A and B are shown apart, each in its own frame.
Chain A
Amino acid sequence: MKNLRTSIAALAAASGLLLAAVGCSPPPAAEPAGEGTSGAATAASAADLGGMDKLVEAAKAEGALNVIALPPNWANYGKIIEGFKTKYGITVNSALPDGTSAEEISTAQKLKGTDRAPDVFDLGQAVTLANTDMFAPYKVEKFDTIPAGLKEASGLYVGDYGGYMSIGYDSKKVPDVTSVDDLTKPDYKGKVALNGDPTQAGAAFNGVMMVALAKGGSADNIQPGIDFFGDLKKAGNFLPLDPTDATVQSGQTPLVIDWDYLNAANTAKIPTWKVVVPENAVVGGYYNQAINKDAVHPAAARLWQEYLYSDEGQNLYLGGGARPARADDMTKAGTIDQAAFAKLPKVSGTPVFLTEAQNKAAADTLNKEWAKVAG
């Protein structure tokens, strides 16, 4: 009928026009505030701006810093943010504290050109390596004191803190854990939790890797870990619940496999919380700092990095139970916080750090096998 045809034609024409308009991206937004004024966006070191004092000046002029996915109890970030705020008087906007590394990147892409775009990233290794085109290279003052294996040569990304996978538990609620095999005992029924889903969260992924190492696997073979969790599930010991402050306090998750610095944060709240790194199953991982190429506050972002890698910043990480990237250098120089360093869990055995290739291979195996085992 004629009406139908005309209406369809009109609809199609209108849709076509709109589709064309909406299908393409909007024009690039106006350049972020700090860009033209101080040249901070392209500075690759403090020297480029004329020294630390000039950097501090430029950062204070920007007045704010956007950080993302930094929970206050994660490696003491709460105190670090406070320290930065007090020292320089710059407001810190902390977005999405429970975000994953992948969400940091996707948020930066989504908010590109807006005032809320994150200025700096704190990312797990896999995500860092996959997104180097989003970073701006920057060498902090103490760049040379960071071990070569922990940084990218031009400063695109630099390891900031790290730790080893550990088993943390409330000794009041479960018996002491001496090895990974203990976890299948009936004492631990419904009590063994991973910090997240291994196919989604880096901490959980490395937890499975740690168990794999303890059960005869290696950095190239994560299957024994997957199998062990299958056994745990059959025994009814595996608890597929994300541990949070609330669940740890209420005793719902009395045993958590997580980075040692995250478990250490629980000891601060629950005195009977013990942290143990299994012998000869030492999986290490460092997180990486990077500056957003399109940072809204480029000078503040660079100042933040300087702060993190200063003795003060690195010792604050240590206070949260994390191993600072400059630990070796600071121990030699005597600037490290000895008391906090002594509190770190004992580690026996050679730490294993996964390479990018091993990471990817293990992730692919997990993708195929984890659902079969843990549902």
Chain B
Amino acid sequence: MSASSAARTRLQVFRVVILVLTGAFFLIPLLAMLDFSTRDFLAEGRTWAAWGLLVTDPLLRGSIIISLVLSLLTALGMIVLLVPTMIWVRLRVQWMSRIVEFLCLLPLTVPPLVIIVGLKNVTLWLNYLIGDTPYWLAFLYVVLVLPYAYRALDAGLSAINVTILAEAARGLGASWLTVIAKIIVPNIKTALISASFISIALVLGEYTFASLLNFDTLQVTIALQSKANAQESVAASLASIIFAAALLIVLSFVSGGRKARRTVGTPIAPIPVEPTRETQ
């Protein structure tokens, strides 16, 4: 029918226009970063010197390592804290699930800046108990990633029937540890990976906590180096964006197969996919 094919063309045109415009909006700054970081101010050519500094500058290299380790520690901490808790809530304390959900989304409400301002005593304790290393930032980062990790894990746990699995395993004599580690975790692998990747991306991009506590993580160093060598900072920024994007793209492909099967509803479309068959 001409009306629906006209509608379909309109839709396709609309989609192309939107995708091209937003694609350009997002791509241009990234390309500009590439151009800026490779520009040779003196000799009017291209130079990869700034990118080389990513590996050779000890300050930057050190901060990359600190950030990577912090992100892994955060992902680990998040898993250790959230997975048993959420499983326990589903199995034994369903009446607290609303409260737990609220608490997990609470960090979205309290700006990190506010948390840092009020953290003086806690940081003194952490320094006292653990010593002076940037790695106890992981404790704070776990709070930051809670909302996103909760949502990912919640989706994963909702898709499997935790109660039945747990009861069956307990009935066969498994201990709680076995239930969690050997029965449930393998079934929520995608959600775990998703939550971990999001945590890693978040920690790699975190600036507020680290800068106000004077730790040299990646973002803090990037901001610092901008005063001495702007090109190095821009190169490091672009590298970290690309790395995080690669991480999340890989994630989406790893979970892609399962996702298609678990789609909640078929996607919205202004006209059915097979117009001739459905509408007649």
Contacts and interface: CB of A to CB of B under 8 A. Distances in A.
The answer to whether A and B touch in the complex, with CB atoms under 8 Å apart, is: yes
Interface of A: 3-4, 7, 22-27, 29, 95-98, 107, 110-111, 113-116, 244-246, 249-250
B214 A96 contact: yes
B28 interface: no
Interface of B: 41, 95-96, 99, 120-125, 127-129, 131-132, 213-214, 224, 226-230
Contact of A250 (B41, B95, B226, B228): B41
Q: Is the interface of B mostly helix, strand, loop or mixed?
A: helix
Contacts of A22: 121-122, 125
A246 B128 contact: no
A24 B121 contact: yes
Given A98-B224, A114-B127, A115-B132, A7 B99 contact: yes
B230 A113 contact: no
A26 B127 CA distance: 9
8 contacts: A95-B214, A98-B224, A110-B124, A110-B214, A111-B127, A246-B226, A249-B41, A250-B230
The 7 closest A-B CB pairs, nearest first, are A26-B128, A114-B132, A244-B227, A246-B230, A3-B95, A26-B125, A116-B132
Nearest to B131: A114
Nearest to A116: B132
A103 to B, nearest CB: 8
A90 B230 CA distance: 31
Contact of A27 (B121, B128, B227): B128
Given A23-B121, A26-B129, A95-B214, 11 more contacts: A25-B124, A26-B124, A96-B214, A107-B214, A110-B120, A110-B124, A114-B131, A115-B132, A244-B226, A244-B227, A246-B226
Given A3-B95, A250-B41, A110 B132 contact: no
Contacts of A7: 95-96, 99
B103 to A, nearest CB: 10
Given A7-B99, A110-B213, A113-B128, A246 B227 contact: yes
Contact of A29 (B128, B224, B229): B128
A7 B96 CA distance: 8
Contacts, number: 54
A47 to B, nearest CB: 34
A249 B229 CA distance: 10
Nearest to B231: A246
Contacts of B226: 244, 246
A82 to B, nearest CB: 17
Nearest to B128: A26
A98 B227 contact: yes
Contacts of B224: 97-98
Given A3-B95, A7-B96, A111 B228 contact: no
Contacts of A116: 132
Nearest to B230: A246
B127 A113 contact: yes
Nearest to B123: A110
A115 B132 CA distance: 7
Contacts of B122: 22
Contact of B121 (A3, A25, A97, A114): A25
A358 to B, nearest CB: 31
Contacts of A114: 127, 131-132
Contacts of B228: 244-246
Contacts of A27: 128
A229 to B, nearest CB: 23
Contacts of A244: 226-228
Contacts of A110: 120, 123-124, 213-214
Nearest to B125: A26
Contacts of A113: 127-128
Contacts of A96: 214
A40 B228 CA distance: 37
Nearest to B127: A114
A245 B232 CA distance: 13
Contacts of A95: 214
Contacts of A26: 124-125, 127-129
A294 to B, nearest CB: 14
Given A7-B96, A110-B214, A245 B132 contact: no
Contacts of A250: 41, 230
B11 to A, nearest CB: 45
B229 A246 contact: yes
Contacts of A23: 121
Query: Which of A22, A107, A110, A113 has its CB near the most chain B CB atoms (within 10 A)?
Result: A110
Contacts of A115: 132
Contacts of A246: 226-230
Contacts of B227: 98, 244-246
Nearest to B213: A110
Query: Which of A23, A113, A246 has its CB near the most chain B CB atoms (within 10 A)?
Result: A246
B132 A111 contact: yes
A330 B91 CA distance: 81
A7 B95 CA distance: 10
A115 to B, nearest CB: 6
A23 B124 CA distance: 11
Contacts of B214: 95-96, 107, 110-111
